[in-house]
Structure 1
Amino acid sequence: MSGSVWLPPGARPDTVPGIPGQRTPSWARPDPVDELAERLDDFVAAAVHPDEIAALLESDGMSDDQIRERYGVKNSFALAEELYERNDRRYPEPDGPFHDPWQVGLLGCLLRGVVFALPGLAYVLGAPLLTGPRDFGLPAGTIPLLAGALVGWTWNQGLAHRAYSWLSLGDREAARRSLLLGAPVGAVLGSLVALLVDPVALAFVAGQSVYLGASTALLVLGRERALLLALLPMSAGAALTLVHTVPTAVRAALLLGSLAAVVALGLREVAPRRNEPKGRGELRDKPQRSRSRQTTMGPRLLSSLPYALFGLGTGVLVLYAALGEAQAAVALTLSMGPAEYFLHRFRSGSLAGLRNTSTARAFWRTTTTTLIECLTLYLLTLLALGLAMSTLSPGLLVLGVVLWTGLLLQSFGAILTATTVCCAAALAQTLALLTHTGDPHWVALTVHGTAAAAQAALVCALLGRATAHR
């Protein structure tokens, strides 16, 4: 009868044995990887590389043991590759206009290049103030000046990184405070080193060290135009010496005047602000105390050490170039502004590649093309500057490759790699000169070529990694 249940004779409903439940065969069960791919569809479809997916899986607390048991693959990277293959690429457009933080103006970068080079005119203006015996065939006072400059470049490179780190955390007051405390320490260190090497140029080295600290503060805080204006008296005096004899007293007054202006501007920028909004480090409520140590305590001091050593290594390489041919060093210094512009242009192009490519291979091709374009344009700029300075040395372009790829590795976060290569190159060139091994020109070309090839290979290895372009 419809709707009734058939029972054996004499049986009651409560005595009928239950029907065993049927098991779903393994071939009919849903694939857990498919289920995970569906759940993470939006994220996986927008990933440029499987490593992005692996990072998400690990951040969700999935261990390799759990992944092996649940999904049948050996680890998070294997699961990420599986998910990457199963989902089509799909990149949703962000709401609102696209923000490109790497867009910079060419004029501003050129201005920075000029500001980097102008202090060299101080040596032209102050040469008659340096008297005494020649140092290893070099003009009087050269050795202590070089020693003080190397200490200043090293210290202020690390100081600039620390100040920029505070700025990236939104704490401008802490950045000012680090510059206010760090710049005088660098000036003292540079002067002490010069005193130990040779006190003949102590006053000039002290002024050089003070300038390096004050100008670092102005450059970090974006006051290039103010620095340029402060250097104009000294620059005008150096230009005047080319056509007219300038008395020693006037030379000293012009040097001291520009130095005093730079120091005054620097102090004005780093002085505490009464009405300055407190930075992140000074507005911590209780819920924020669970943040990471770096956020709550600020950037670690040791994190700036590799940047300081990078400044030392590249400084030594540039100084050797200057000793060989002063015009080459001037061209390199002037090219640092365009180098910065083309570095930003590359980062902007790689960011566009992240948005417009759908596979890791296409992204690598895009970034490689952009890299070749930007490096070529920089080398053409350096070549033009070398021609303007009447220097045609292939070593100039090779050293330019070392400096630019080193800066690029630094922007990729591979600062330890760039520092190791540049410091090793500086050490190799130093040992070769001390032991009189080979012709200095060919030694420099060999060392720079090896360093350029090593850094170029490392850059190529990082080009296809989306995480390196963050």
Structure 2
Amino acid sequence: MSGSLWLKNGTMRDTLPVIPRQRVAGAGTLAADPVDELADRLAGLAAVAVHPDEIAAILESDGMTDDHIRLTYGRADSFALAEDLYARVERRHPEPEAPPAGPWHHGLGGCLLRGVVFALPGLAYVLGAPLFGGAGTVPLLAGAVAGWVWNQALSHRAYTWLGLGDRDSAVRSLRVGAPAGALVGSAVALAVAGPGEWPVVVFAAGQSLYLAAATVLLVLGRERALLCALAPLAGAVPAFRYDVPDALRAGLPALSLVAAITFAALVLRGGGVRSPAPRRPRSGPPLLASVPYGLFGLGTGLLVLYAGGDDALVTGAGPVLALTLSMGPAEWLLHRFRRLSVAGLRTLTSAREFRRAAAGALAQCLGAYLAVLLALAVVGVLLWPGAPGPDGAGLLGLLLVGVVLWLGLLLQAFGAVRGAAAVCTLAAAAQTLAPSSGPLVAGAAAAAMAVLTCALLVRPTAHRV
């Protein structure tokens, strides 16, 4: 068979290198052990073998028969001679080539861009709050939470299709799911609205449309387009200190909303992904698989709102701003932890060493995230109009929510979203029933998340790709 050969044990091997020819001993020299002489000739090939059968394949490819092996080397057959050679030659495996930059090698700039994109919509609340005319913000908060739940689940489904190589189904799921999410968010806001709260309902409907458009652009990697759509909100900066006309307060968010919807529609119309589409998989992801991601969005969204206090989107947005801005550095640190863990798999030789290294990398990345979050919280409180001054209890609660959020995102990245969703949802429910128990609930949730993370991510098997 061309290019391959069959061994005595019935296995087929690719054509192997020919053994270097035997050197003729000089006159007056003693005859060497033929097996030692063969081991010397085969040193380069046998040193990289991982099993004696590889050496046996080399011997047979060179035409050595069992009769020749018995007469020349005193061994029963090629497998016996291969085992002897394998034992005599020291293993010298070549160093593996450096792995290519994988999906976890993301630049800091791109992650920071996503953090800015996450935070910029907060300027719309600065502009729109005076237009509410004293109405409550319950419809606004309800619509936001409904949108987070829906779009988190929709994002998971679209990302799963992309991971399967089916861009058409990913785009199709966004075409159907994004408008449906906008309707759900608007309907929830309308359902909880009271008399005289129609300005808040209108703003909540725009919020739902924006969340749908932003989901499309972020899933399909169009952060820069979304940033361009949000650029008009920079006009909100004077509103931090000065009064601005109502027409400007309504016009700038509306302009950004129209731009975001337009960009999302253009991306969906063009397919959104530039790479060629591989063959479509036979079956897609089940719908129920996205439910835990929606619950995770519900739990984390409520915890973030509780960290900001009453009317967090409008008046107490210092902590909310810090948490949203921190999502950029948080994403980069998730990638960094993944890179460190993969490097540990390649270089460490025992499970104990890997557990120690993984725990150290986890502490390093989580500590860096909390330091960034603390700095953003202090800056946000100083810059946000009407925000209360920082206090020890508030900062502690914010950092505990940060622990829950970052560890939850880490578990989600490793596919352990059910545990993260359960912890976040239970914590949000407990704080809803007992609003004054914020730090206690956040502390318990952070401890539970830390236990889940350590139980999973210190095992080498969790990091194999």
Relative to the length of structure 2, the TM-score reads 0.73
Matched residue type, 1:232? A
Equivalent in the alignment of 2:282? 296
Does residue 217 in structure 1 map to residue 203 in structure 2?
A: no
Instruction: State which of 342, 352, 355 in structure 1 corresponds to 2:346.
Output: 355
Report deviation, 1:235: 2.5
Report deviation, 1:92: 6.7
Equivalent in the alignment of 2:438? 444
CA distance in structure 2 between the partners assigned to 1:186 and 1:402 by the alignment: 26
Equivalent in the alignment of 2:331? 340
Report deviation, 1:454: 0.8
Written as runs of structure 1 = structure 2, the 5 A alignment for 1:392-407 is 392=391, 393-407=395-409
Matched residue type, 1:373? Q
Does residue 191 in structure 1 map to residue 186 in structure 2?
A: yes
Q: Number of residues paired by the alignment?
A: 358
Match of 1:271, SS state, is helix
Report deviation, 1:326: 2.5
Report deviation, 1:399: 0.8
After superposition, the Cα gap between the structure-2 partners of 1:130 and 1:148, relative to the gap in structure 1 and judged at 3 Å, is same
Residue range with higher mean Cα deviation, 148-157 or 364-373? 364-373
Does residue 310 in structure 1 map to residue 310 in structure 2?
A: no
Residue range with higher mean Cα deviation, 220-229 or 189-198? 220-229
Instruction: State which of 135, 144, 162 in structure 2 corresponds to 1:149.
Output: 144
After superposition, the Cα gap between the structure-2 partners of 1:374 and 1:412, relative to the gap in structure 1 and judged at 3 Å, is same
CA distance in structure 2 between the partners assigned to 1:312 and 1:274 by the alignment: 27
After superposition, the Cα gap between the structure-2 partners of 1:166 and 1:239, relative to the gap in structure 1 and judged at 3 Å, is same
Written as runs of structure 1 = structure 2, the 5 A alignment for 1:380-395 is 380-390=371-381, 391-392=390-391, 393-395=395-397
Match of 2:326, SS state, is helix
Residue range with higher mean Cα deviation, 310-319 or 460-469? 460-469
> Are the aligned partners of 2:121 and 2:230 in contact in 1 as well (CA < 8 Å)?
yes
After superposition, the Cα gap between the structure-2 partners of 1:243 and 1:444, relative to the gap in structure 1 and judged at 3 Å, is closer
Equivalent in the alignment of 1:322? 308
CA deviations on 1:131-158 (whole Å, 9 max, x unpaired) are: 25xxxxxxx2410000000000000000
CA distance in structure 2 between the partners assigned to 1:155 and 1:274 by the alignment: 21
After superposition, the Cα gap between the structure-2 partners of 1:202 and 1:92, relative to the gap in structure 1 and judged at 3 Å, is farther
After superposition, the Cα gap between the structure-2 partners of 1:413 and 1:275, relative to the gap in structure 1 and judged at 3 Å, is closer
Report deviation, 1:101: 2.7
Instruction: State which of 363, 369, 378 in structure 1 corresponds to 2:369.
Output: 378
After superposition, the Cα gap between the structure-2 partners of 1:326 and 1:125, relative to the gap in structure 1 and judged at 3 Å, is same
Relative to the length of structure 1, the TM-score reads 0.72
Match of 1:364, SS state, is helix
Matched residue type, 1:241? A
Match of 1:413, SS state, is coil
Written as runs of structure 1 = structure 2, the 5 A alignment for 1:23-422 is 93-94=95-96, 97-132=99-134, 140-198=135-193, 200=198, 201-236=200-235, 238-273=236-271, 279-280=277-278, 282=280, 295-323=281-309, 325-390=316-381, 391-392=390-391, 393-422=395-424
Report deviation, 1:388: 1.1
Report deviation, 1:407: 0.7
Report deviation, 1:429: 0.7
Which of 1 and 2 has higher RCO (CA within 8 Å, sep 6+)?
A: 1
Matched residue type, 1:258? S
After superposition, the Cα gap between the structure-2 partners of 1:92 and 1:368, relative to the gap in structure 1 and judged at 3 Å, is farther
Report deviation, 1:276: 7.4
After superposition, the Cα gap between the structure-2 partners of 1:206 and 1:274, relative to the gap in structure 1 and judged at 3 Å, is closer
> Are the aligned partners of 1:281 and 1:297 in contact in 2 as well (CA < 8 Å)?
no
Instruction: State which of 447, 453, 456 in structure 2 corresponds to 1:462.
Output: 456
Report deviation, 1:42: 5.2
Matched residue type, 1:406? G
Match of 1:241, SS state, is helix
CA distance in structure 2 between the partners assigned to 1:124 and 1:462 by the alignment: 41
After superposition, the Cα gap between the structure-2 partners of 1:91 and 1:346, relative to the gap in structure 1 and judged at 3 Å, is farther
- Where does structure 1 lack aligned partners over 5 or more consecutive residues? 1-40, 44-88, 133-139, 283-294, 434-439
Matched residue type, 1:298? G
CA distance in structure 2 between the partners assigned to 1:468 and 1:403 by the alignment: 20
Report deviation, 1:196: 0.8
CA distance in structure 1 between the partners assigned to 2:439 and 2:92 by the alignment: 47
> Are the aligned partners of 2:147 and 2:208 in contact in 1 as well (CA < 8 Å)?
yes
CA distance in structure 2 between the partners assigned to 1:322 and 1:243 by the alignment: 21
Matched residue type, 2:144? A
CA deviations on 1:80-134 (whole Å, 9 max, x unpaired) are: xxxxxxxxx99875456444331111111111111111101111111222125xx
> Are the aligned partners of 1:157 and 1:308 in contact in 2 as well (CA < 8 Å)?
yes
Identity over the aligned pairs, expressed in percent? 56
Match of 1:389, SS state, is helix
After superposition, the Cα gap between the structure-2 partners of 1:42 and 1:271, relative to the gap in structure 1 and judged at 3 Å, is farther
After superposition, the Cα gap between the structure-2 partners of 1:276 and 1:122, relative to the gap in structure 1 and judged at 3 Å, is closer
CA distance in structure 2 between the partners assigned to 1:271 and 1:395 by the alignment: 44
After superposition, the Cα gap between the structure-2 partners of 1:232 and 1:277, relative to the gap in structure 1 and judged at 3 Å, is closer
CA deviations on 1:11-62 (whole Å, 9 max, x unpaired) are: xxxxxxxxxxxxxxxxxxxxxxxxxxxxxx959xxxxxxxxxxxxxxxxxxx
After superposition, the Cα gap between the structure-2 partners of 1:349 and 1:432, relative to the gap in structure 1 and judged at 3 Å, is same
> Are the aligned partners of 2:355 and 2:460 in contact in 1 as well (CA < 8 Å)?
no
> Are the aligned partners of 1:177 and 1:272 in contact in 2 as well (CA < 8 Å)?
no
Report deviation, 1:277: 7.4
Matched residue type, 2:145? L
CA distance in structure 2 between the partners assigned to 1:274 and 1:401 by the alignment: 34
> Are the aligned partners of 1:314 and 1:403 in contact in 2 as well (CA < 8 Å)?
yes
CA distance in structure 2 between the partners assigned to 1:351 and 1:188 by the alignment: 42
Report deviation, 1:366: 1.1
Matched residue type, 2:455? A
After superposition, the Cα gap between the structure-2 partners of 1:411 and 1:247, relative to the gap in structure 1 and judged at 3 Å, is same
After superposition, the Cα gap between the structure-2 partners of 1:373 and 1:336, relative to the gap in structure 1 and judged at 3 Å, is same
CA deviations on 1:214-240 (whole Å, 9 max, x unpaired) are: 00111111111111111111232x112
